[in-house]
A and B are shown apart, each in its own frame.
Chain A
Amino acid sequence: MNNKDLLNLVDITVSFEGFLALNKLNLNLKKGELRAVIGPNGAGKTTFLDVITGKVKPTKGEVIFKGKSLVGRKEHKIARLGVGRKFQSPRIFENLTVKENLEISVTTPKSPLNLINKSIKDEQLNEIERLLKIVNLTKKVDSKAGSLSHGQKQWLEIAMLVGQKPDLMLVDEPVAGLTDEETDLTADLLKSLSGENTVVVIDHDMEFIRRLDSNVSVLNQGTVLCEGTMETIQKDKKVIDVYLGRPED
C-alpha cells in the first residue's frame, strides 16, 4: 500500500451463495490515474464497481479510499466521500429536464433542508453551464431528459458524474450504443478528465480502450489476470487465451 494511492482493493472476495463473483481481487489506483478495466462477461466487472460504491458488501477483504475503509458504509455516504458512478445503461432522471438533472448532481450539501430552503447557488449554475458546454447539450437545457437520444443520455450522465466533483469516477461502459464519432469524443473527454480526477473505465470495446491510452487491468473469473499497458496486455498469453483470442461479437 502506498500513500499516493487513492484506492486500494485488498483481497476482495464476494460470494453470492457460493458463487465467487470476485475472488481475492487486488487493485491499486494512484491519484489522477486513468485506468481501463476489461474482461469477458461474468468476469466480475460490475460487481467490482458495486463493491466500491457500497451496493454489495464484500464477503472478505478491504476497500481503502483516501485512507478510509469503505466497507459497511451506505451508498450515499460513499458518494459524498467522493466516489461517483456512471451506470452501464444511462441512468438519468427521464422525467426531469437536463438542467434539473444537473442541478441534482452539482447541489451541495445534499440535505433536505438545503434543498427546500435555498435556491441554487450562482457558482453551481455556472458549473451547470460549463458542463452543458462540455457535453454539447446547451440547446437541450430545458428539454426532458427522456427525450434525448441515447448518446446524449450517456453524455448527460457523464456530465452528472463530473458535476458531482468526485475524486474517483467509475464509468461503466460509457460508449455502449454510441456511434464511432461519439465514441471518440467520449474517449477524449475521459482522457481530459483524468489527471485532475481519477477515472476507472469499464468496457468491452477494444478500440475505445486503445484510444484511452491508459493502463489496463484484465479481470477474469473474479480476479485480476494481468495489468499493464495495452501493448503488454495484448502480448500476454493468459489474456489472449481468455479474452482477446476469442472473436468479438
Chain B
Amino acid sequence: MSFSKIKFDKKIVLSFWIILIALIIAAPTILPVFRLNLLGRYLSLSIVALGVDLIWGYTGLLSLGQGIFFALGGYCAAMYLQITSSSEFPNNIPEFFALYGVEKLPFFWEPFRSPVFTFFAIWIIPALVAGLIGFLVFRNRIKGVYFSILTQASLLVFFNFFNGQQKLINGTNGLKTDVTQLFGQMVGSESMQRLFFWVTATLVIASWFFAKWVVKGRFGNILIGIRDDEPRVRFTGYNPVIFKTIIFSIAGGLAGISGALYTVQSGIVSPQFMTVPFSIEMVIWVAVGGRGTLLGAILGAVFINYAKSLVSEALPASWMFIQGGLFILVVTALPEGVLGWLQGDGPRNLLQRFGLKRKIETYPSLEINKKEGNNE
C-alpha cells in the first residue's frame, strides 16, 4: 500500500517539474517580450522574498531593510556593465561622470572591470554588509521591533548616502544598464532579456533548493528554536548570535542576486530600490504567500507583483488600496499566509463552517488519521 502511494507522489512531483521546466523553456515564445520581461523581474523579486522568509518566517527576524542588500547587488551589476561599455566616452569612464566634471574613475569602481570579481561581488558584498550589520545588532541582543526599526533606519542611511553621491554613483539618477553591452549585445535587447529570463528562472529554482537545504534538519530547527524561544536555545549551549548572523547574511546574499537580476531586467538601478515602502512590500509578499513555507514566498512575490501590474494598468490609483487590504486580510484572517492556510487546517475549517465536513470532536490524530492512517 505505502509503496504505491510513494510512487504516486513521485509521479506527481516528476510531472510538476516537467511542466515547470517546459513552461520556463516555452515562456519566451508564448509570452510577448513585454510580459516575459515583467515575469522575469517578478521571478527575480522572489529570490529576495526567499531571503525574507528565511530570516522572518524561520528565524523571526523582521527586517525592513532588505532593500539595502537588494540595491547593493543591483549596483554591483550595473557598475560592471557601465564600466565595460564606456570605451567611447570621455576618459574611458561612464558617461555620467562628465556631467559632474569627474575625470578619474573613483577607486572602488576599478575592481568592477573584472567579470569574475563582479560575479562574486553581486552576492558576497551584500552578504558581508548584512553579516556586519547583523552581527553588531545581534551581539547587543537587539530583538523584535527594535531590530525592525534599526534595519529601517539603516535603509534610510543607505538611501540618503546613495542619493547624494552624484560624483561617485550618479546619485538619485541611478545607473542605467539597458544601453550597456554584455557579450557584445545590448543588455536591453530582446535576445538578452530572454537569456536573463532563463537565468532568473534557473536561479529561483536553485535558490529555492538552497533555502530548503538550509532549513532542513538541525540547522533549520535551531532557527525555528531561536524564533520561538531564543533564551532556551542559549541555555542549551548554542550561540544564537552566530546562527542569526549566518542566516541574515544568507538573506543578504540572496537579496543581492535578486537585485542584480532585477536591475538588468528593468534597465536601471537607483536609490529608489532603497525606499522604505519597497522593503515593506517584500515583507508583504512573504506574509501573503505564507511565512515559513519558502514556496509561499516565491508565489507571493510573483503573484502580488503580477497583480500589481495588471491592476495598475486597469485602475492606476487603486493598487495601494488593494495591497493594503490584502495585507490586512492576511493579518486578520490568514495569519499563516495563503500557502500556510492551505497546508494547515484552513480548507477543512472552511468546509466545516459551511457544514460540508464533519466536525472533529477529539483530536485529528484519533478521528482522521484512523481512517486515512490505514493507507500508511
Contacts and interface: CB of A to CB of B under 8 A. Distances in A.
A76 B237 CA distance: 4
Contact of A160 (B219, B236, B239, B363): B236
B236 A79 contact: yes
Interface in A71-126: 74-76, 79-80, 84-85, 87, 91-96, 100, 103-105, 107, 110-112, 115-116, 119-120
Contacts of B221: 93, 96, 100, 103-104
A202 to B, nearest CB: 15
Contacts of A110: 236-239
B7 interface: no
Contacts of A95: 224, 228
B224 A103 contact: no
Nearest to B221: A100
B229, B235, B242: residue with the most chain A Cβ atoms closer than 10 Å:
B235
Given A76-B237, A93-B232, A112-B242, A120 B218 contact: yes
Contacts of B242: 111-112
A105 B219 CA distance: 13
Interface size class of A (residues with CB under 8 A): 20 to 34
Nearest to B240: A76
A77 to B, nearest CB: 8
B222 A104 contact: yes
Nearest to B229: A91
Contact of A93 (B217, B229, B239, B240): B229
B347 interface: no
Interface string B204-229: 00000000001001110110110011
Contact of A53 (B214, B222, B235): B235
Interface in A43-91: 53, 55, 74-76, 79-80, 84-85, 87, 91
B219 A79 contact: no
A217 interface: no
B243 interface: yes
A164 B225 contact: no
B246 interface: yes
B234 interface: yes
B214 A116 contact: yes
Interface string A115-159: 110011000000000000000000000010001000000000000
Nearest to A94: B228
A100 B237 CA distance: 16
A85 B218 contact: no
B231 interface: yes
B229 A79 contact: no
A111 B236 CA distance: 12
Contact of B218 (A75, A80, A84, A107): A107
A100 B229 CA distance: 15
A88 to B, nearest CB: 12
A96 B240 CA distance: 17
Contacts of B214: 116
Nearest to A105: B236
A202 B145 CA distance: 34
Contacts of A147: 363, 365
Given A91-B229, A93-B228, A104-B225, A115 B236 contact: no
A94 B228 CA distance: 8
A74 B232 contact: no
Contacts of A116: 214, 217, 219
B223 to A, nearest CB: 10
A17 to B, nearest CB: 20
A87 B365 CA distance: 29
B243 A112 contact: yes
A115 B225 CA distance: 14
A242 B15 CA distance: 73
Contacts of A53: 235
Contacts of A80: 237
Contacts of A96: 221, 224-225
Given A76-B234, A110-B237, A160-B236, A103 B225 contact: no
A191 to B, nearest CB: 24
A71 B246 CA distance: 28
A79 B235 contact: yes
Given A53-B235, A107-B218, A93 B246 contact: no
A115 B217 contact: yes
B238 to A, nearest CB: 5
Q: Which of B221, B229, B242, B243 has the most CB of A within 10 A?
A: B221
Contact of A75 (B224, B231, B243, B246): B231
Interface string B347-366: 00000000000000001010
B219 A115 contact: yes
Max chain B C-beta neighbours (<10 A), residue from A107, A143, A147, A164: A107
26 contacts: A55-B231, A74-B239, A75-B234, A76-B235, A76-B236, A76-B238, A79-B235, A85-B235, A91-B232, A92-B232, A93-B232, A95-B224, A103-B221, A104-B222, A104-B236, A107-B218, A110-B238, A110-B239, A112-B222, A112-B243, A115-B219, A116-B214, A143-B365, A147-B363, A160-B236, A164-B237
Given A111-B242, A147-B365, 9 more contacts: A75-B234, A76-B239, A80-B237, A96-B224, A103-B218, A104-B225, A112-B242, A112-B243, A164-B237
Leading 5 A-B pairs by shortest Cβ distance: A79-B237, A75-B234, A116-B219, A115-B219, A115-B218
Interface of B: 214, 217-219, 221-222, 224-225, 228-229, 231-240, 242-243, 246, 363, 365
